[in-house]
Structure 1
Amino acid sequence: MKSFIQGAKEIEDYLVEIRRHLHRHPELESDLPKTTKYVKEKLTEIGCKPEEICKSGIVATIGGNKPGKTILLRADMDALPMQEESGLEYTSQHLGIAHTCGHDIHTSFLIGAAKLLKEREGEIEGTIKLMFQPGEESLTGALDMIKSGILESPKVDCAVGMHVQPLLPLNHLNYAKGPFLASTDILRITIQGRSCHASQPHMGIDPINIAAHIILSLQSLQSKLVPSNEPVVLNICEVKSGNTSNVVPEQAILTGTLRTFNPQLRKEIIEQCDKIIKLTSQAFGATSKLEILESCPSAINDKKLVDEIKEYIPNLGIDFVSDPNYRMQVSDDFGFISELVPSILFIIGCKPDGIESSHNHNSKVIYNEEVLQMGAALFAQCAFDYLKNNK
């Protein structure tokens, strides 16, 4: 029987065709009618029976004929609201929408893995559940699919995800134990002051002045409350207040982001932020409110699962380079899955030859398509070997 990587090499043109089709036709968030139609067609062609369990959320299973555990393989499908400037012949055909985070590649990985696994379905000892997810960029898709039962019927025992990284060379694969990608909390601070003429500031309560004190205090919180060995980012990135030069405004609104790898520290920082905001406002006679507009937990690689899966990776026959300390401050709503079942998220390198730097969420990003065969084979190998060794 040929290996998964041999099989993936044989279907490389097929994977490239799928990836380029998806790349030409990007869609946003959870509104992916063309993408879901195409993915379901491809899955049906290889003998799967895909089902849309929520808007643009597709699930299909392989195996299940022999008793065993269930492993989930997840790929995200949505694009970003930005213009592509890569100059590629298969560039996005939709103005202001582009696959500049590699989700078209992730989807191709999983379709390819499905094709490889379907060919060996008779050997599968358990069930492989395929999760094609919308809304990763909005951090909503994973939760929608969880609420729609993706982790049940059959109940999922572990989950595997993958993300491409064009800053890393080909053959680089990272999957450090524990917190791997950061949590995200989007903060909105509303300060309610009292308007007055700029020449009579004592007649009002200036929310801009209060906002300045709050911003400085939050930065001090980051340096004084957080242990030096804990990576934390707390940034106020937007300030809105006033519309003319001679009127003290009624209100100021600040928005920003908090990112951390430590769930308990995350909770403590949010509590301290709330105290600083309220007490600083009170000191100047104003009122304020802290809201968490959007939240996503850290993607955590289960230590036991990492130890097991890393034993299967050499079976691919690829000499991967790995960094056991690799972590990123970006977030992925795969974190909602890792909260519920033992999970592992891979970061796989795909830097094109001859390009100095190319990063996700960049209008000119280019990916090395040789990674397609690697990602498809890696998904298939991990699923097949996990089920074989966990009867």
Structure 2
Amino acid sequence: MAHRSRRDGIMDEYQEALSLADETVRNRRHIHQNAEVGLDLPKTVDFVCEKLEEYGLAPKRCGHGVTATLGHGGKVLLLRADMDALPMYEASGEPFSCADGAVHACGHDMHAAMLLCAARMLKEREDELAGTVKLMFQPAEEVFKGSLDMMAAGILEDPHVDAALAYHVGAGRMPAGLYMYNDADTMMFSVDGFRIKVLGKPSHGAYPELGVDPINIGVHVHLALQELVARECSSYKSCVLTVGQFHAGSAANSIPAEAVLEGTLRTDDEELRQHVLGRIREVAVRQAEVFGGTAEVTSLSACPPLVCDPDLTREMVGYMGEMDVPGMTPVPGVHASASEDFSFVAQRVPSTFMYLSAGYEDERGERPAHDPRVRFNEEVLPIGAACLTHCAVRWLENNR
């Protein structure tokens, strides 16, 4: 496709993305309908590789994900999209719903489709690039393992990455095209998943004095954990501690041998995070001792807060402000209690992360992300693809 030079205008990327919107939607719906969870995404990875090859790139497997590069040396900008789904049954009513017990209820299918479109547009501009773009199609963001997997496989090296950019679509009752960012503070919380196994002593329900009741211990542990937030966390900092699972026993007239609690801790401050993690372990162990049992605490996941590089964020926001795209509106100062494993990348290289609203202003926008009934507005797909392309081109121009 012929396109104008940069001096002739800066709507090229959006207009081209609009011309490719039908294919981008098809790509999104294919990924959506074939949703996969976790690290191993064979169908999704094969599809992404097939499309990148079709667009003239040379994709490579990187850990459990996919990477490819464009350009001719110079500084390197990483563009990242995750592509894993959630383990639940879809209830969105979309004609392209997944029927396999996995659903893209967080919009990662949208991210992968946007980056595929951007890859195609950047390939057409490859001779104009003032540096190198590296693509990162990542698995396992939902379980906070995908970034680490690809980093261990060398995604940030060969060539070395100088900066990174990622977008995440947002569902809900709002118009498409808002872009939300934070250039001054923590953007997204840390997350630490934990399992507390309480070990007691089984006995007949008629003779509880002969056993040690792990359910009773578990109840006291749960209550004590809530006091950590209420009494040990400053009101000037944010901390969310949720126990989402509590399992014990199989009979109503027996005291079981063990009880298991699982939950998550989320904070916006690393020092507070480490304090509360230590106290979770201490509270569980000591509460169990009080009632004659024992407790074991296991980490299920660990992801730091996402803090974007202020200068890079303001630079990317400036490039997005150059784009004359209907509905694109900046929303600064966003602070989300959800978590994102792009934070591991942001710890290693200057990075920025933004939300792109993909909601509806009618009843289709009633459901939030991670709801099996959520629906995402596909009008954001060309916006996201254009933003990725434009920001990459402009950043490389100004950071030779």
Same structural fold, with TM-score higher than 0.5 when normalized by the shorter chain? yes
Flag the 1:215–1:353 CA change in 2: closer, same or farther, 3 A.
closer
Distance 2:291 2:224 in 1: 14
Task: Answer yes or no: is 1:175 the counterpart of 2:144.
Answer: no
How many Å apart are 1:298 and its aligned residue?
A: 1.9
In structure 2, the CA distance between the partners of 1:22 and 1:245, relative to structure 1 (3 Å rule), is: closer
Aligned counterparts, 1:312-391, within 5 A? 312-318=319-325, 320-355=328-363, 356-391=365-400
Tell me which amino acid in the other structure corresponds to 2:57.
Answer: C
Which residue is 1:215 aligned to? 222
Instruction: Verify: 1:235 aligned to 2:242, yes or no.
Output: yes
Q: For residue 343 of structure 2, what is the amino acid of its counterpart?
A: G
Instruction: Pick which of 147-156 and 198-207 moved more.
Output: 198-207
Aligned-pair CA distance for 1:190:
1.5
- Which portions of structure 1, spanning 4 or more consecutive aligned residues, are displaced by more than 6 angstroms? none
Equivalent position to 1:161, from 161, 166, 174 = 166
The Cα of 1:90 is off from its aligned counterpart by 2.3
In the superposition, the TM-score normalised over structure 1's length comes to 0.94
**What is the distance in 1 between the residues matched to 2:112 and 2:29?**
11
> How much does 1:4 deviate?
1.2
Deviation (angstroms), 1:384? 1.1
Instruction: Note the aligned Cα RMSD (angstroms).
Output: 1.7
* Structure 1 residue 353: Cα displacement: 4.6
State how far apart, in whole Å, the 2-side matches of 1:308 and 1:98 are: 34
Name the aligned partner's letter for residue 89 of structure 1. P
* 1:101 alignment partner, one of 106, 110, 131: 106
Give the unaligned 5+ runs of structure 1.
none
Match of 2:97 in 1: 91
- The aligned residue for residue 80 of structure 1 is 86
Q: How far apart in 2 are the matches of 1:262 and 1:156?
A: 26
1:277 alignment counterpart: 284
Q: 1:139 aligns with which of 140, 144, 157?
A: 144
Q: Matches of 1:211 and 1:50 in 2, distance apart?
A: 49
**TM-score normalised per structure 2:** 0.92
Contact residue 315 and residue 381 of structure 1 kept, 8 A: no
Offset of residue 325 of structure 1: 2.6
Q: Could you tell me how far apart the structure 2 residues matched to 1:89 and 1:209 are?
A: 47
Aligned to 2:8: none
The aligned amino acid for 2:123 is K
Identical-pair percentage: 39
Report the equivalent of 2:17: 8
Q: In 2, distance between residues paired with 1:345 and 1:285?
A: 48
The alignment partner of 1:48 has SS state of: coil
CA offset at residue 363 of structure 1?
2.0
Task: Determine the C-alpha separation between the residues in 1 that align with 2:151 and 2:374.
Answer: 31
Q: Within 1, Cα distance between the matches of 2:225 and 2:92?
A: 38
Q: Deviations over 1:299-322 (max 9, x none)?
A: 221112112211111122135333
Cα distance in 1 for partners of 2:291, 2:100 equals 47
Residue 29 (structure 1) aligned with residue 34 (structure 2): no
Q: How does 1:247-326 map to 2 (within 5 A)?
A: 247-318=254-325, 320-326=328-334
- CA offsets, 1:120-166, max 9 Å, x none? 11111111000111112222111111000000001111111111111
Asked if 2 retains the 8 angstrom alpha-carbon contact of 1:79 and 1:100, the reply is yes
SS, match of residue 277 in structure 1: helix
Aligned equivalents of 1:245, 1:41: Cα separation in 2: 55
- Residue 149 of structure 1 corresponds to 154
Q: Give me the whole-angstrom Cα distance separating, in 2, the residues matched to 1:106 and 1:75.
A: 5
Determine the C-alpha separation between the residues in 1 that align with 2:89 and 2:248.
29
Residue identity opposite 2:167 in structure 1 = M
8 A contact 1:80–1:98 mirrored in 2: yes
**In structure 1, distance between residues paired with 2:50 and 2:40:** 18
Displacement after TM superposition at 1:269 (Å): 0.3
Contact 1:143/1:336 (CA < 8 Å) preserved in 2? yes
Corresponding residue to 1:18 among 27, 32, 42? 27
Question: What does the per-residue CA deviation read over 1:352-376, in whole Å, with 9 as the maximum and x for residues that have no partner?
Answer: 3532413212222221111011000
**Secondary structure in structure 2 of the residue aligned to 1:185:** strand
Distance 2:69 2:105 in 1: 29
Instruction: Count residues with an aligned counterpart.
Output: 387
CA distance in 2, matches of 1:237, 1:99: 21
